[in-house]
Amino acid sequence: MPEEQGKQENQAVSEVIRCPECQADGFRDNGSKCPTCDGGGVLLRVRGAGDYFWGSDLSGNLSFFRLFGHALQSSARFLSYFLAFAALIYGVFFIVSQNGDFFVSFKSDVDSVRLAKDDIFGALVIAAYYFALNIVEALGVIFTERGVGTLLFWSGLLGAMCCYYFARTADLSRKEISLTDTEFKPFYEENPAKLEKAIDVSAFASVSTLGMLKKALDLAHDHAQAPGVFHLARVLLGDDDIRSLTMRMEIDTKAFGAFLDDAIKHLPTNDHYNRKKGTVMSPEMKQLAIFALQESIIAGFDMIEPEALFLALFCDQDMEKYFHDAKFDLQDIRSALLWTRSLGKVRIGNGRPRKITHTVMNKAWTARTTPELDQFSYDMTDRARSGLTGNVVNRSRELDELMRILERTSQNNALLVGEEGSGRTTIVKALANRMIHDEVLPTLRDKRLVVLDITALIAGASAGGDLELRIQKVLEDMGRGGNIILYIPDIHNLAAAGNGEGFDASKILSPILSQGLFQIIGSTDYRNYHRFIEPRGDFANGFDTVKVEELNEKDALQVLAIQAGYIEAREGVTMTYGAIKKTVELSNRYLPDRLLPGKAIDLLSETAVEVRRRGEGQTLRDEDIMKIITEKTGIPLESINSNEAEKLLNLEESLHRRVIGQDQAIKSVSSAIRRVRVGMKLQNRPIGAFLFIGPTGVGKTELAKALAEIYYGNEEAMIRLDMSEYQTVDSVEKLIGYSSSEGSDDNAGGGILTEAVKRNPFSLLLLDELEKANKNVLNLFLQVFDDGRLTDNLGRTVDFTNAIIIATSNAGSKEVSKIFVDENSDNDRILEMLDPYLLQYFTPEFLNRFTDKIVFHSLTPRNLLLIAQLQIKGLAKRLDEAQGIKVELSDEAVSYLVEVGYNAEYGARFLQRTMQEKLENLIAVEFLKGNIKRGDTFRVEVEQLKQI
Amino acid sequence: MATDSFILSPFRIFKGISGFLSFWYVRGSQDFWHREVNMIKGVGRDIGVLINLKLIFQPIYGDYSLIGKLIGPIFRLCRVFFGILLAIFLSFLIIACYALWLLLPPVALVMFWENLFYLLVG
């Protein structure tokens, strides 16, 4: 059956205890068991309640026949069975061939019957009779004949029985890990009862694990050393499954092998273990084996498998360091292991579509057909029977809650509330799987889970009761059917259907829900729940809600691990574990408007298609994922190359091409960008939050635009809010959204700020004239600056961690103007002087949350000259593009404009207005008079400007 | 690599044979019956023998007319009867398979030795 996967991770608190009496050996010098530890030597104490030890040496466990049985379990099993049964089959054919006339008499009998009666059916009956007779005769021959053929037959049969015995006893000699057994409770219960006796974990090791341990002992014996972690790791590297795992994780097995060989070479010899001839486990090995039990429980194995031994290597510091240097931790390897094991379970069905058999009737023969309902629905239980519902990961909480509601005798309708992509339909599929396997209470057994297609229901329904009629017919069918549980996805569409036509579908459904005539499961998202369902009291009260939250990254990784196998097979690419992990990480971070695991699955599929385009048999790595995300978002995720490094180092220069002066401000924001790009940014904060203080027209907004262009690639990647529009108390709701009610405008349920950032999380947020905002609005931004997130009115979290926030303020600008502030002024000293004025508008804790507060100085005539040149250049470019006219100004003309346009209070804006009045008006008039035409170069002199 | 030698001492042979017999007859029987009982239960569940017995007088397909009330019990009884028949047939088959299971080792051994003796001695 499709599996529901995902066990609780064991967070066991364990300690290793070494027996002081025998130095953790387990045996005394005379070879007898140590009485203190009873031969255990090393004990793992879990939560102070359970003691686990390795109690046996390997000699008894690895008898020839047990190993032979193990061989039968491995790939040699087929060969062994084949040999045994080949002898059996040979014997059978030998015997049958001795009875050659069987076929002749059979045919003549059939022909005679057919000729006589022309009765095919009769001929077949005769043929079956003779066939059975001859089988019995052949069987009789086996017992009556004596010879080589019969000897082969009987010896083959005996061989087959022996093979079966060896294989089964190899299985049966081991115990299985069962989490319902008391002996494992300390691993996953918080306050378990103390176990009466210590548990010998060697009984839970599979034969292949025992084989690995034995090989490690032999390797140590060959080097006359005490067996340890390096010997075990070296042996594990030779295992096919482990090699497959390391290959998928892009661990360089050659380098790893060389590291282990080198480590083994430098280990000291040990006469004590050398004398034991490779049969006794050292304390280190025992500790590894005991930790492997812990890993087996976490991984959900039935026994201690070699992969668990591989995970147990992490208990050694040197091994942990090696993997850490290779950028892997224990959790990575656990997830990769889950993935490689699930790869073996992928069944694609050979490309043939699976047939869905429609089952209407229940076993009790009480159901009836539902033709009206069938027109607008499909049967989920039919799909579950055909294996089309897939695997479900870690939704047991929501599923159990759903089933508890449905299995009640009253008030047994459920509403799944969660954002789109959170997995609401997946939970319903899991329910269908349980229903077809009868893993539900009797109230849900033998029923059909039918999914209503609201689009089909509403489509084509004309006004005047058509939709109402359809709904009535569907409900009648359900009542008649008697064995239907109806799932209505996006039930809010039905609730709102008919609105404005004097008809409310929810009013039809409400009495049905309250009377419990049949069961309905609905699904909706938070926004539409508040808009369409909550206001309809009776309808809403008919349901019990089940919240469906987005999967966390860890669970999403498990889902993706399962799906990756299907994507690999479908696209013909090979994936590395790093790619899968990166997919979850980057999709969660950079695609905030969708939920896990859907967005991760889509991203992986898209990248696989892209990789497939490169050719057959390509490998999908994490760089491919980063490339796709960069293309989608414009954020450079690939490693910094030399061109970009140069660009980042010269960021100030790039910004100065648009912003004149203001060196302190440019330096501060450039430093923040460099820190982000190198990966030093705090993950839960915006990229930077800056407060620009200064008089108007000195370049605050211009710097924001320049930064948006350079960092985000587009000047339009800027969300601009004029905070003077948010001076009232209700401004908070404008920003984060109102409590929705039907008929509200588009912003209902979504605020201006939250929706803008949600739609475009990679942008520059410019808050103009921040001091004018209401105090409640300022408090809102406290959370943004601290946590990089904001919760809107519907409870959805909006991510600000990819935004640069720039707030501008004219607070204290008059005082700034009074003090002569230029490029050389000390920013900190000026801020100190401005503090009292800033505190009139902002609280200290608010000011404290800015990455930097920068005072913009008034523009000097020199600055204005450069600005004028910049603006003239811009104007010339626009004119050239628009009219094909080139414009040049003499130096005197430029100086005149700067002289006339200089105003310390209004800054560059005054210059801009002056240039519009003088220069642009002049050009416009001359053009209209016909004095300048397309292709001309218009030279402006100061006298011309003075005349305007 | 085996830690035991390949030499089969009489004790080892005896241990092997007794282990085989214990596995085949004790453990094998337990597994066999456990599996077959579950299979019969599953068949009964799938055919719906008990539930049709329980609802014997309830009309099928929700047909509460006079004819429906008359026909319903008949069809349900047929289903129950078929289910019981199938269970009996399966039971006989299972017993036959179990008999085969029990007889297979001694019969195979005897026939093997007979054929070997025949070939060696004539």
Domain assignment present for B82? yes
Helices (H), B48-65: 49-54
Chain B residues with CB under 8 Å of A365 CB are 48, 52, 55, 60-61, 75-76, 79
B14-54 tens-digit pLDDT: 888 888 898 899 988 988 888 888 888 888 888 888 888 88
Contact assessment for residue A556 and residue A580, using Cβ atoms and an 8 Å cutoff:
no
- What is the reported pLDDT for A405? 93
Domain assignment present for B2? no
Q: Using DSSP bridges, classify how beta strands A42-46 and A50-53 pair: parallel, antiparallel or unpaired.
A: antiparallel
Contact assessment for residue A605 and residue A650, using Cβ atoms and an 8 Å cutoff:
no
Those residues with Cβ within 8 angstroms of residue B58's Cβ, 6 or more apart along the chain or in another chain: A364, A366, B72
- What is the reported pLDDT for A816? 63
Q: Mutation test of the interface with chain B: which of A166, A366, A443, A484, choosing the one with the most B Cβ atoms within 10 A?
A: A366
Between CA A527 and CA A530 the distance in angstroms is: 5
Residue whose tokens read 């005798």: A409
A900-930 tens-digit pLDDT: 888 877 788 888 888 888 888 888 888 888 8
Instruction: Calculate mean pLDDT across residues A156-175.
Output: 77
Long-range pairs for A406-412 at CB < 8 Å and ≥24 separation? A406/A431, A406/A443, A406/A444, A406/A485, A406/A519, A406/A521, A407/A440, A407/A441, A407/A443, A407/A444, A409/A443, A409/A516, A410/A516, A411/A516, A411/A542, A411/A544, A412/A516, A412/A519
Q: How many residues comprise chain B?
A: 122
Residue A597 preceded by cis peptide, ω within 30: yes
Compare CB distances from B104 to A161, A366, A480 and report the shortest one's residue.
A161
- What is the reported pLDDT for A787? 86
Instruction: Calculate mean pLDDT across residues A454-466.
Output: 79
Q: How many angstroms separate the most distant Cα atoms in chain B?
A: 81
CB atoms within 10 A of CB A448: 25
- What is the reported pLDDT for A124? 65
Of A194, A261, A204, the residue nearest A230 (C-alpha): A261
A385-405 tens-digit pLDDT: 887 777 666 788 899 999 999
pLDDT tier for residue A138 given thresholds of 50, 70 and 90? low
Domain assignment present for B16? yes
Instruction: List A619's β-bridge partners, or say none.
Output: A574
Between CA B102 and CA A6 the distance in angstroms is: 43
Compare CB distances from A363 to B51, B62, B114 and report the shortest one's residue.
B51
- The tokens for A597 are 């695991």
Chains A & B: contacts with CB separation below 8 Å: 92
Q: pLDDT at residue A683 above 80?
A: no
Contact assessment for residue A699 and residue A659, using Cβ atoms and an 8 Å cutoff:
yes
- The tokens for A939 are 């030279």
- A49 or A811: which carries more pLDDT confidence? A49
Instruction: Calculate mean pLDDT across residues A690-701.
Output: 86
Of A687, A795, A785, the residue nearest A736 (C-alpha): A795
Instruction: List A242's β-bridge partners, or say none.
Output: none
Query: Nearest-CA residue of chain B relative to A479?
Result: B62
Between CA A234 and CA A228 the distance in angstroms is: 10
Helix axes A64-73, A76-98, angle to 10 degrees: 80
DSSP B26: I
- The tokens for A20 are 């002081």
> What does A182-248 look like in DSSP terms, one character per residue?
GGGGGGT-SSPPPPSS-EEGGGGB-HHHHHHHHHHHHHHHHTTB---HHHHHHHHTTSHHHHHHHHH
**What ipTM is given for this predicted complex?**
0.83
- What is the reported pLDDT for A820? 53
> What does A856-914 look like in DSSP terms, one character per residue?
PPPPPHHHHHHHHHHHHHHHHHHHHHHH--EEEE-HHHHHHHHHHH--TTTHHHHHHHH
Between CA A164 and CA A536 the distance in angstroms is: 66
Query: Nearest-CA residue of chain A relative to B4?
Result: A63
Q: pLDDT at residue A513 above 70?
A: yes
- The tokens for A673 are 């960008």
Instruction: List A27's β-bridge partners, or say none.
Output: A33
Q: pLDDT at residue A813 above 90?
A: no
CB atoms within 10 A of CB B17: 10
Q: Hey, what amino acid is at A146?
A: R
Categorise residue A3: left if φ over 0, alpha if ψ from -120 to 50, beta otherwise.
beta
pLDDT tier for residue A7 given thresholds of 50, 70 and 90? very low
Q: pLDDT at residue A1 above 50?
A: no
> What does B65-116 look like in DSSP terms, one character per residue?
SHHHHHHHHHHHHHHHHHHHHHHHHHHHHHHHHHHHHHHHHHHHHHHHHHHH
- The tokens for A814 are 């008059």
Of A299, A291, A284, A302, the residue nearest A208 (C-alpha): A302
Helices (H), A223-377: 229-236, 240-248, 253-265, 271-275, 283-299, 306-312, 317-325, 330-343, 371-375
- The tokens for A145 are 């004949």
Domain assignment present for B1? no
Q: Using DSSP bridges, classify how beta strands A797-799 and A789-791 pair: parallel, antiparallel or unpaired.
A: antiparallel
Query: Nearest-CA residue of chain B relative to A59?
Result: B3
Q: Mutation test of the interface with chain A: which of B25, B111, B113, B114, choosing the one with the most A Cβ atoms within 10 A?
A: B111
- A365 or A570: which carries more pLDDT confidence? A570
- Are residues B108 and A154, on separate chains, in Cβ contact within 8 Å? yes
B45-103 tens-digit pLDDT: 888 888 888 888 888 887 888 988 898 899 999 999 988 898 889 889 899 989 989 99
- What is the reported pLDDT for B105? 92
Helix axes A120-144, A76-98, angle to 10 degrees: 100
Q: Mutation test of the interface with chain B: which of A58, A61, A64, A440, choosing the one with the most B Cβ atoms within 10 A?
A: A64
Domain assignment present for B5? no
- What is the reported pLDDT for B13? 81
**Total number of domains in chain B:** 1
DSSP A252: -
A103-112 tens-digit pLDDT: 555 566 556 5
- The tokens for A886 are 């080139």
Q: pLDDT at residue A782 above 60?
A: yes
> In terms of residue numbers, what domain contains B36?
10-121
Instruction: Calculate mean pLDDT across residues A620-646.
Output: 76
Between CA A284 and CA A215 the distance in angstroms is: 15
The answer to whether A139 contacts chain B (CB < 8 Å) is no
Domain assignment present for B3? no
Domain assignment present for B45? yes
Q: pLDDT at residue A351 above 50?
A: no
> What does A622-651 look like in DSSP terms, one character per residue?
HHHHHHHHHHHH----SPP-HHHHHHHHTH
Q: Mutation test of the interface with chain B: which of A63, A154, A172, A438, choosing the one with the most B Cβ atoms within 10 A?
A: A154
Listed by number, the residues of chain A in 755-774 with a beta carbon closer than 8 Å to a beta carbon of chain B are none
Query: Nearest-CA residue of chain A relative to B59?
Result: A366
Lowest-pLDDT range of A454-463, A743-752, A824-833: A743-752
Compare CB distances from A155 to B46, B104, B112 and report the shortest one's residue.
B112
A558-605 tens-digit pLDDT: 888 878 888 888 888 989 988 999 999 999 888 877 888 889 999 999
pLDDT tier for residue A523 given thresholds of 50, 70 and 90? very high
Of A582, A578, A584, A580, the residue nearest A597 (C-alpha): A584
Domain assignment present for B78? yes
B48 to chain A, closest Cα gap in Å = 5
